[in-house]
Structure 1
Amino acid sequence: MNSRYGKTLSLTVLSLLVLCIIAACGQTTTSTSTSSSSGEKAAEADKGSAVTPTHLNVALFWLGSNLDPAEEWNGWTLTRAAIGETLIQFDENMKLVPKIADTWDRIDDTTWHFHIRDGVTFHNGNKVTADAVKKSIERSIELNERGQSTLPIASMSAKGQDLTISTTEPYASLLGNIAEPLFVIVDTSADTSKFKSEPIATGPFMVTGYTPDQEIQVKKYDGYWDGAADVDTITLKYIKDDSTRALALQSGEIDVASNVGRSSLALFQDKSQYTIDEIPSLRTQFVWFNTKNPLLSEPEVRRAISYGIDREMYANTLVGGQAAKGPFTSALPFGYNQIKGYDYEPETAKQLLDEAGFKDTDGDGIREKDGQQMTLQLILNSAYESDSIVAAAMQSQLKEIGVNLEMTSYEDLTDHQKSGHYDLALTSINTGITGDPQYILDFYFKTGSEWNIGGYSNANLDALIQKLHSEFDVEKRYELAAEAQQMILDDAAYMFITYTPINIVSKSAVQGATMYPIDFYLLDRNIQVGQ
C-alpha cells in the first residue's frame, strides 16, 4: 500500500510543584513548570539554563499479560510504548522501512541477508550484533506457539553485523512477518527471567516500573541510536474501556489516548485544546461462526444470517468506517474490488432459511427445525463501544428474519473465544499487520490453525493459501488472495461487518502523536510537548 491516509491533526510535562499548582487551579497537566519565587529564580539563574523534566500520561486500550515480547502478543505493547523494535517496520504508508537492520536482500527463494545497523545498543548498553539478533529471534520462536509458523526458519548464521536467514521453504512473506512485534529484539545475555516486568530492548524508551494490568513507567534511553527523545518520562496507563479513556483525557488525567469511542469524539473538537488524528484502519470487525454447532454447520444457514444484517447502515450511521466485504479492507491491495460479499437482503435470508428447513411453525417469530429453535449465543467484548452498538443492531435485524440472538459480554474475550462455547463471536483484528495477505490467511482460515477457532475447514482453500508461501510475484499474490477471500465468502465461514476507523486524541500541546494504519505503533522518539 503506498498512499497515506488523510490527517486531521498532528505532550508538556511538569514538575511536582506545577502538578500541585494545577490541582489547585484546575488547569491541565501538560504545562512546563516555572519558579514561583524570586529566590527560586535566582537559584535557577545560578545553575544556568536548568531544564524542567517533561512527563506524559498516555492511555493504552490494551495491555498484554506481561512485558516479555516473546510471550503471547506482548510485543505489541512494547512497540506501542516505543520500548522495543524489530529489524524492520512499517511506516505510515505501510511501506517497510529500516529499523535495527539498515539493509536487507533476498539471496534466493529461501535465503535472506540482513545487515544490523552499527551503533545500536540495548538499554543496558550492550551492543546489538547479528548474533544478539539471532538469539533473540530464536528465543521468540522457541517460546511462542506462533513463532515457527510465522518464521519457518531452517537455520540462521551471524557474523559481525551480518545475519543470514534460511527458511524451510520458499517464504515470500518473511519481511512482513519479521516486522511483527513478536520479534522485538531483546538482549538474551541479560537475565531473561526479569523480562516479564523489565525487558532489555532497543527502543527510545526503557522500562522503569511495571504494574500488571495497570501501567508501565518508562524513561527516555539516552543511548538510543537515532538520538534521545525529547520527553523524559512517560506513564502508560491501561484504560480498556473506550468511554473511560475519553473521560480521563477530558479530566486531564492523561495527555494522549488512542481509540477513543466515536460517540466521545465530539468532546474534543476544540482545536485549541485537543488534536484528533483519525484514519481508516486495517482493522476488520467480524463475526466467527462456530461451524461445529449443528445450527450453523450448513453454509446456507450462515449465508442467510450474512444476508440478514445491514453493514452499510452500521458503517454510515452507527460506528463509522466502511461496510466490509471480506477480511481485508479496501485500503489493502489484496483484491477487495474483485470479490463479492453480502448485501442486506432480508428476503433472500428468509428464503435460504426456509430451504434449510427452519420455519416459524408456532407463530412466536422465531424459526425452528426438528423442534430446535433458532436461538444463537453471541459473545462480545464489553469494553468496545462499536462492538456493543453493532451487536444490538444485529440482534434487532436478525429477529426480523426469525433468528433469536442472545448476547453475553465479557471484559476479556480471548479465553471464551478459544473455548468454543459460543455460537457467534464478535470481535475485530488488524488484518494488515504484515502488509501481506498470507499471515492472516494462515492464522485465521487454514484448517486447524491457531486462530481458526470456529472450526472452519476447506481443503481447496488450504492448498490455495499454501501457494502464497512460494509465490514471490506481488500481483500474483494479490490474485491468490482475492481467490482465497471469495472461497471464504462463498462458504460464509465468517461474517465480515465493518472496517473500523482508528484515532489518537491528544492535548494540543502534544506534538508527534500520529495514528498509524497498523495499530501496534503509537509512540516514537518524536513525541514531545510544545513550550
Structure 2
Amino acid sequence: MKLKKIATILLSAMLSIGVLTGCSNNSSNSSADKKELVYGTGVYATTGSLDPAEANYNGWFTLRYGAGETLFKVNDDGTISPWLVEEYKNTDDTTWELKIKDGIKFSNGKQVTAKEVKASLDRILDKEEISAGKALSVDSIDAEGQKLTIKTSKPNPALPNQLCDPDLVILDVDSEDMKTKPVGTGPFIIESFNEKQCVVNKNENYWDGDVKLDKVTIDYISDNDTLSASLQSGDIDIAGGLSFTNLQKFEKDSNYKVDTNSTTRCYMFYYNFKNELLNNKNIRKAIDMCIDKKSYVSSLLQGSGEVAKGPFPTTMDIGKDIKDNGYDVEEAKKLLKEAGCKDTDNDGILEKDGKKLSFDIITYSSRAELSDISTALQDKLKEVGIEIKDINIYEAVEDQLASGDFDICAYSWTTAPIGDPYYFLGYNYISDGDCNYGKYKNEEVDKLVKELAVEFNQDKRAELSNKIVQIGNDDVAFSYVAHLTKGYAMKSNVSGFRQTSSDYYELNKDMDIK
C-alpha cells in the first residue's frame, strides 16, 4: 500500500508538470506568433490629435497609420484609382455619382454605406477652416444605399483627385473619441495615441484581406541622428524620413534594407511680401540666383533628389518647359545695384532706403536638410551683401506662417500628391489661397488659377499650370530648390513596407516581420 501511494503521488506530480509544461509552451507559442513592429519617424502628429476636423492636417496621420482610407487613392504614376469606391461617373459639369463598395466595414464592425460616407464628408465640409473640404466646392451630397451623389456649386474636374486628400479620410462619425481613437476602414485600429507615440493593432474586420502584423508602435523621434541611432541599436525596426547622410550608414550593411522613391515633395522658400525689402522683385531675384541648387542636390542631399525649376518635377506634364532664374552670383550683385542697394557704412551688409538687407529664415526640425540648405544659402548671400541674421528651427512653423511672423521660410511641400496641379497652385498662387503665406499677388495668376479650377481637358490643364508657374517664376513668388527622393531604412527582416510618390501612405496590410 505504501509503494502504491508513492507511485500515485509521483504520477500525479508528473501529470501536473506535464500540464504546466503544456500551458507554458502554449503561452510561449502564442506570444511568438504575435507579430509586432516599431516604426520610428520624424514626421508625426505632434498636435495631439488625429481628428481631421481639426485644422492641422491630422487626417494625413490617420491615413499614414493605416487607421483610415479615402474614397480614391493616388497611384505611383500620379494617376488615381477608386479605393472605397466601386465605380463613378461625371453625369454633367457639376454632378458626380459614386457607388461605395459593398462589404466594407469600419474597424468597429459597422457597415459602410453611402449614408456613413456622407456623414464623414459633411463633418469636414462644415469646417470652414479645412482646406480639403472647401476645395470640393460641394453644393449638396445625397446618399441612397451605396450610391453617393455629389453636386458642386461650380464645375470641379479635379473632384476625384481631391477626394484622395487625407483630411477627407472616411471615419465613423459616431466614434466616441475622434481625437485619439478615430474609427476608420483601414487595416489597423488605434489602441492609444499621444504626442509622442501611437500604437495600432490589427483590424480583424478589414475588408481587403488579411493583415499580417498584429501590432505596430509608431515612435516620434524628431532628431534625425537619434532616429538613425535607434535603428542601429535595435530599438526600432524602421526609420522613416532619414536624412541622406544617415541613410548612407545602412546602404552597405546586410542587416538592413534601404528604400528610396522619387516624390513630388519639393524643398522651397516662401518670401514674406509684407516685408518692404522682400517686396522688391530685384532683391528676391538676387536671393533666388544665389541658390546653388545643383550643388545642394549633389552635396547636401547626397544626390537623392533633382534640381527643381518649379513646384512640379519636369517628368510630369505639369512641370515641363519651365524656366528658372539660374544660379549666377555676379548677376545677383548687378540686380541689387539696380535696386539701389548700397553698403554705406562698409560693414558688408547692403542697405536700401536706410534699411539693411538683413533677414531671418525660419524652418522646422523634421526635415533636416532644410536647415542645411538655409545655412548654405546664408553663406552664399554674404558674398552679395545680404545678411541672414538668424536661422530659427522650430518643431513646426505653421503658426509663424499663418500669422505672417517671418521673413523667409524654408519649407517642404508635396506639390502634386493627388496628381493634379490645382492642389498646390490653388493653395499657394491665388492671392487668397489658404497657404499663400507670403501674400503673393498677381491678377493674371488669379485669373488663370480660376480657369484651371473649372477646366476638364487634361492637356489644357497642363498648359494653364505651366503658364501660372512661369509667371510666378518671373515674379520670384517663391524659390524652388529640389524635388526630394524619400528614404527609409529598415531591418532586413521587415517586408511589405513601401513608400509612395504621394507621401500619403505608410502602414499597410502587407507589412510583415520575421
Q: Structure 1 residues 156 and 393 mapped into 2: Cα distance closer, same or farther (>3 Å)?
A: same
- 2-structure distance, mates of 1:38, 1:246: 46
Structure 1 range deviating more: 143-152 or 194-203: 143-152
- The answer as to 2:472 corresponding to 1:488 is yes
- The answer as to 2:216 corresponding to 1:234 is yes
Shift of the alpha carbon at 1:304?
1.5
- 1-structure distance, mates of 2:324, 2:18: 71
TM-score (norm 1): 0.89
In structure 2, the residue matched to 1:261 is: 243
Task: Map Cα deviations across residues 340-382 of structure 1 (whole Å, 9 max, x no partner).
Answer: 1021111111111101100223322211122211111111113
Letter in 2 for 1:145: I
In structure 1, the residue matched to 2:87 is: 103
Shift of the alpha carbon at 1:309?
1.9
- 2-structure distance, mates of 1:126, 1:371: 67
In structure 1, the residue matched to 2:298 is: 316
Shift of the alpha carbon at 1:228?
2.8
In structure 2, the residue matched to 1:290 is: 272
Letter in 2 for 1:107: T
In structure 2, the residue matched to 1:367 is: 350
- 1-structure distance, mates of 2:401, 2:470: 24
In structure 2, the residue matched to 1:459 is: 443
- The answer as to 2:151 corresponding to 1:166 is yes
In structure 1, the residue matched to 2:10 is: none
- 1-structure distance, mates of 2:291, 2:238: 35
Q: Is the CA contact (8 Å cut-off) linking 1:284 and 1:327 kept in structure 2? A: yes
- The answer as to 2:53 corresponding to 1:70 is yes
Letter in 1 for 2:153: T
Task: Map Cα deviations across residues 390-438 of structure 1 (whole Å, 9 max, x no partner).
Answer: 1111001111111111222222211122221221111111001211000
Q: Is the CA contact (8 Å cut-off) linking 1:282 and 1:331 kept in structure 2? A: no
Letter in 2 for 1:412: A
The number of residue pairs the alignment matches comes to 490
Query: Map of 1:12-51 to 2, 5 A cutoff?
Result: 42-43=22-23, 50=30
- 2-structure distance, mates of 1:49, 1:494: 58
Q: Structure 1 residues 110 and 227 mapped into 2: Cα distance closer, same or farther (>3 Å)?
A: same
In structure 2, the residue matched to 1:332 is: 316
- 2-structure distance, mates of 1:92, 1:297: 38
Task: Map Cα deviations across residues 182-213 of structure 1 (whole Å, 9 max, x no partner).
Answer: 1110112333xx110110111000011112x1
Query: Map of 1:470-489 to 2, 5 A cutoff?
Result: 470-489=454-473
Letter in 1 for 2:426: D
Report the 3-state secondary structure (helix = DSSP H, G, I; strand = E; otherwise coil) of the residue aligned with 1:138: helix
> Which 4+ stretches in 1 moved above 6 angstroms?
37-41, 44-49
Query: Which segments of 5 or more consecutive residues in structure 2 lack a partner in the other structure?
Result: 1-16
Query: Which segments of 5 or more consecutive residues in structure 1 lack a partner in the other structure?
Result: 1-36
Q: Is the CA contact (8 Å cut-off) linking 2:50 and 2:181 kept in structure 1? A: yes
- 1-structure distance, mates of 2:341, 2:145: 67
Shift of the alpha carbon at 1:38?
9.8
Q: Is the CA contact (8 Å cut-off) linking 1:215 and 1:238 kept in structure 2? A: yes
Q: Structure 1 residues 210 and 451 mapped into 2: Cα distance closer, same or farther (>3 Å)?
A: same
Letter in 2 for 1:195: M
Report the 3-state secondary structure (helix = DSSP H, G, I; strand = E; otherwise coil) of the residue aligned with 1:463: helix
Report the 3-state secondary structure (helix = DSSP H, G, I; strand = E; otherwise coil) of the residue aligned with 2:507: coil
In structure 2, the residue matched to 1:33 is: none
Structure 1 range deviating more: 42-51 or 248-257: 42-51
Q: Structure 1 residues 46 and 449 mapped into 2: Cα distance closer, same or farther (>3 Å)?
A: closer
Structure 1 range deviating more: 381-390 or 219-228: 381-390
Q: Is the CA contact (8 Å cut-off) linking 1:220 and 1:228 kept in structure 2? A: no
- 1-structure distance, mates of 2:322, 2:314: 11
Q: Is the CA contact (8 Å cut-off) linking 1:70 and 1:183 kept in structure 2? A: no
In structure 1, the residue matched to 2:324 is: 341
Q: Which has the larger radius of gyration?
A: 2
- 2-structure distance, mates of 1:468, 1:258: 35
Q: Structure 1 residues 184 and 383 mapped into 2: Cα distance closer, same or farther (>3 Å)?
A: closer
Task: Map Cα deviations across residues 11-63 of structure 1 (whole Å, 9 max, x no partner).
Answer: xxxxxxxxxxxxxxxxxxxxxxxxxx998875477799856211110123222
Letter in 2 for 1:209: S
- 2-structure distance, mates of 1:503, 1:181: 21
Report the 3-state secondary structure (helix = DSSP H, G, I; strand = E; otherwise coil) of the residue aligned with 2:481: strand
- 2-structure distance, mates of 1:181, 1:46: 42
Q: Which of 178, 190, 197 is equivalent to 1:215?
A: 197
Query: Map of 1:178-257 to 2, 5 A cutoff?
Result: 178-191=163-176, 194-211=177-194, 213-257=195-239
Letter in 2 for 1:175: P
Task: Map Cα deviations across residues 498-525 of structure 1 (whole Å, 9 max, x no partner).
Answer: 1121112111101011111111211110
TM-score (norm 2): 0.92
Identity of aligned residues (%): 34
Task: Map Cα deviations across residues 126-180 of structure 1 (whole Å, 9 max, x no partner).
Answer: 1000010011001011134314422110111111111111111111111111110
* Aligned-pair Cα RMSD in Å: 1.9
Letter in 2 for 1:372: K
Task: Map Cα deviations across residues 227-274 of structure 1 (whole Å, 9 max, x no partner).
Answer: 230110111111222222111111111111211111111221245211
Report the 3-state secondary structure (helix = DSSP H, G, I; strand = E; otherwise coil) of the residue aligned with 1:295: coil
- 2-structure distance, mates of 1:262, 1:255: 18
Report the 3-state secondary structure (helix = DSSP H, G, I; strand = E; otherwise coil) of the residue aligned with 1:376: strand
In structure 1, the residue matched to 2:416 is: 432
Q: Is the CA contact (8 Å cut-off) linking 1:360 and 1:368 kept in structure 2? A: yes
